[in-house]
Amino acid sequence: MKDRIKKTQAITLKSIDFRETSKIITAFSEGFGKLQLIAKGVRNPKSRMSAALQTFVNTEIVFYKKETTELYLVKEAALIDFFNNIHHDLTRFHYASVIADFLYSLLAQEQISKTLFQYALFILHKIDQVQKEELPFILSKFLLKGVALIGFKIELNKCTVCGKEKFSPLYFSHERGGLLCEECKMDDTAVKILRKPLCRLLSGIQENEGGWNSTEINKEDFMNASLLFSNWIHYHNHRPLKTLDNFIKGKAFHY
């Protein structure tokens, strides 16, 4: 069957050098989900595609789609958004890295979600432009909505088993994907106590769909929220999100 030429917007998540002048690129596209692409000659200094295929760049890509392979050849690439601040500020770069790692690790090959693509693009714009004090809020917002968009919304307002809304203490179950009350947690040996202030904070971020008047999150709350997300992702994805773990270990915490 002949190659089919396709065009789509895409965010480059990861790239590795291939042979002397080429790259193999993993990109999250609006029209075709997560793609594996080969860009021949892109490492050549004279290549017109090199800037358009950097990590954390929004690009319009034209590629040849074959049914006999999942590695598609890039024909053309035109830069749409470069996100200059992300590329020149280490703190913003680390936050964007978590977004890319999330999409790379949790999405299946060619799993299409136009809503998630647009949301990821929106978040990258935020990371590129907002005050640095707002970055923990932006990342927490993305992780809460991101897991919901792939089908695993975290329940922070009621018991995931019986539906009870007001109870204490609060227990969090990675298996159930949210809160458990005292009675229902007996069947889950892996539950962890969730502090009420952190639960209220995350619930408020989760429900703040219409507004972006983000308040500063202190370091302790952000680290605890990151630990919750990290453990949840590790449980469901069977491997950790390394970039998020780096925040927890202090390797990339420049806030």
Residue 207 sits in the same domain as residue 124: yes
Is there a domain that residue 255 lies in?
no
Both tokens of residue 37? 């692409």
**Across the beta sheet with 171-173, what order do the strands follow?**
178-180, 171-173, 192-193
* Residue where a domain terminates, one of 82, 101, 132: 82
Cα separation, 20 vs 13, whole angstroms: 21
| pLDDT given at position 213 | 59
Looking at 80-218, list the stretches that DSSP marks H as alpha helix, in order from N- to C-terminal side.
Answer: 84-88, 90-106, 114-129, 135-149, 196-207
Both tokens of residue 78? 């035109």
DSSP bridge pairs for 35: 27
pTM over 0.85: yes
| pLDDT given at position 1 | 46
Counting as low any pLDDT under 50, the low residues of the chain are 1, 253-255
Cα separation, 174 vs 79, whole angstroms: 39
Residue 74 sits in the same domain as residue 158: no
Residue 191 sits in the same domain as residue 151: yes
* Parent domain of 237: 85-248
Domain count within the chain: 2
Residue 106 sits in the same domain as residue 189: yes
